């Protein structure tokens, strides 16, 4: 559905993206994460057809995203998305539906269905009188008026309260479950973990890690085991009346178990901790 090959983008000699290559399959949620200045927004704008590559190629549904016909199959949500504040939510969305030549009856059904799902009731309210969360829901609905196959969302939950954030993030997953292809970036990596099928981590214009969360953990993370014993063993710390030892593999667990037995004690608990995407992100970004 989306193919990016050797993407490079320069602005006045500054390299924003350097040689990125990835593919996104139909019905997939694909996360692009990285620190500020990593090249995330430039990558998303290029996929959305708003920026032309300096080098490389981007194809969306087999077409060039800068061409009008291909862009009709795209929905784009920028991080900052000002609305026409004198218009009501309903008139604003109808206006954009008209730009895509969506028949009024089809547009109204689509608009009301989307706003129902986003739990936005104040449809005849001027967007200028809405809260930030309500405005964001209208912007999400705007990205869907043309019923696109591909959605490009740059920080869709940026600056929203936790409840609205939850609605928006869950809605992204629902859209993919319905067959739409979603590419999005987020600073809150917990949201990425919740909904993404695969992820690329960018730093200074390059992709420095990629894959499913499990694949990235296997390559860049590693599981830790915390073993609690009734007696002290090598490397243990005393906590809550017991002793805790952190090891990296099951061989380490067995070593602690055997040492506890030799010291007249036993293992009473074993807890597994997988690194979060944020843990991996910080480690990878520091390493590059």
Q: Which of 167, 186, 218 is the last residue of a domain?
A: 218
> Residue for token digits 């708003």?
50
Domain membership of residue 279 as a residue range: 223-287
Beta bridge partners of 243: 229, 238
| Predicted pLDDT of residue 276 | 76
Neighbours of 57 (CB within 10 A): 12
When divided into structural domains, the chain yields a total of 2
Mean pLDDT of residues grouped by 10 in the chain (288 residues)? 95 93 95 90 96 96 93 93 94 96 96 93 95 93 96 89 84 92 86 89 91 84 86 92 90 94 94 79 70
Supply the pTM of this predicted model: 0.80
Please tell me whether residues 129 and 110 are part of one structural domain: yes
Please tell me whether residues 179 and 81 are part of one structural domain: yes
CATH at 186? 3.40.50.300
Please tell me whether residues 191 and 64 are part of one structural domain: yes
Q: Which of 218, 249, 278 is the last residue of a domain?
A: 218
| Predicted pLDDT of residue 223 | 76
Give yes or no for a contact between 284 and 203, defined as CB atoms under 8 angstroms apart.
Answer: yes
Picking from 173, 135, 132, the residue whose alpha carbon sits closest to that of residue 151 is 173
Please tell me whether residues 213 and 86 are part of one structural domain: yes
Picking from 267, 274, 279, 273, the residue whose alpha carbon sits closest to that of residue 236 is 267
Please tell me whether residues 10 and 60 are part of one structural domain: yes
Please tell me whether residues 209 and 274 are part of one structural domain: no
């Amino acid at each position: 559905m989306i193919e990016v090959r050797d993407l490079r983008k320069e602005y006045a000699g500054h390299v924003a993206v350097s040689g990125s290559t990835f593919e996104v399959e139909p019905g997939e949620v694909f996360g692009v994460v990285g620190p500020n200045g990593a090249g995330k927004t430039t990558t998303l704008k290029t996929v959305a057809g708003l920026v032309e590559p300096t080098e490389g190629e981007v194809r969306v549904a087999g077409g060039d995203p800068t061409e009008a016909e291909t862009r009709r199959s795209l929905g784009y949500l920028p991080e900052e998305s000002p609305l026409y504040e004198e218009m009501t939510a309903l008139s604003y969305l109808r206006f954009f539906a008209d730009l895509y030549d969506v028949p009024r009856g089809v547009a109204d059904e689509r608009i009301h269905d989307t706003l129902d799902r986003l739990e936005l009731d104040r449809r005849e309210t001027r967007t200028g009188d809405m809260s930030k969360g309500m405005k964001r829901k209208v912007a999400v609905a705007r990205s869907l008026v043309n019923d696109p196959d591909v959605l490009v969302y740059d920080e869709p939950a940026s600056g929203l309260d936790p409840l609205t954030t939850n609605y928006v993030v869950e809605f992204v997953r629902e859209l993919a479950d319905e067959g739409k292809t979603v590419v999005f970036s987020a600073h809150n990596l917990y949201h990425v973990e919740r909904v993404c099928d695969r992820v690329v981590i960018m730093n200074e214009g390059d992709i420095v890690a990629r894959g499913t969360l499990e694949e990235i953990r296997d390559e860049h993370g590693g599981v830790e085991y915390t073993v609690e014993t009734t007696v002290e063993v090598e490397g243990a710390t005393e906590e809550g009346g017991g002793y805790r030892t952190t090891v990296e593999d099951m061989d380490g667990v067995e070593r602690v178990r055997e040492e506890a037995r030799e010291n007249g004690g036993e293992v009473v608990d074993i807890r597994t901790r997988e690194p979060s995407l944020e843990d991996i992100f910080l480690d990878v970004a520091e390493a590059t």
